[in-house]
Structure 1
Amino acid sequence: MAHLLMACGTQQTLSTSGGCQFLDGKLISWQSKKQTYVSISTAEAEYVVATACTSQIIWIQSQLKDYAINMRKIPLFCDSQSAIRICHNPVQHSKTKHIALRYHFIKSHVEEGNIEVHFVHTTEQLADIITKALNEEAFTRIVRGLGMIDGSTLQ
């Protein structure tokens, strides 16, 4: 059975968002984009990025159905616990009421079981390679994690 997973991240100061999609541990798709949405908090920025990644998950799920591969509970890894809490909370609160409605469709996909949003520590977030400048150690670790290069060729 094939496994699909997503990593999403953002760099608040640069307003750059990105995501990586993996199928059976192989990088199959990625995106990096300057955000057009102005966020007032890091949690909101991460929530918007998680929603964009959810759109990509739904599209990939529909493509895989054409090959009779039905997947549910696709893991989406996010490094913001606040954004994850917003995804799992079906009730609008005063602290999230300003977020545009189009970004809340992630909640319905979490409730339906199409995706599962999981926390990943910032040091393990693979999407950081396309959202921010990294030091050599972090860059090397992420390149290995993405499977882009054989780890033995790196010093």
Structure 2
Amino acid sequence: MNNTIFVLNGPNLNLLGEREPSIYGTTTLADIRQNCETRAAGLGFKVDFRQTNFEGELVESVHQARKEACGIIVNPAAYTFTSIALLDALKTFDGPKIELHISNVHTRESIYHNSLISRVATAIMIGFGAKGYELAIEAMAGMAKVS
């Protein structure tokens, strides 16, 4: 049974808890990972949780998800607005994809308003803070086809 949800995190998210806490809060990425794993386990799913500052590594994770995941939750961070490579990789994944952002990007500077990734996302989770990850796990558990 493939019940693994890939949770992919882009550049600078390793600095959560210390980077701009007024925007992103004080919860660390390690805290988010633990919360995701706990919530997923309660729903009968596993989490493969990753963070990278490198675009190609994020693309490779999507490629791996094609064979190993029932769904992808992705916080592409800055790559949301710039990465055609990530967009193209996500197009190759047939399962559900949730784009996630900790802050409400639409209340921020206009550079953050045009997501390339939204074009291929099944759903979008924006502005729920670190709790958005757990909400996305719950949503994905309902959307994913487990075989």
Global fold match (TM > 0.5): no
Name the TM-score, length of structure 2 as normaliser: 0.35
When Rg is computed on C-alpha atoms for both structures, the one with the higher figure is 1
- What TM-score does the superposition give when structure 1 sets the normalisation length? 0.34
Q: Which has the higher helix share?
A: 2
Higher strand share: 1
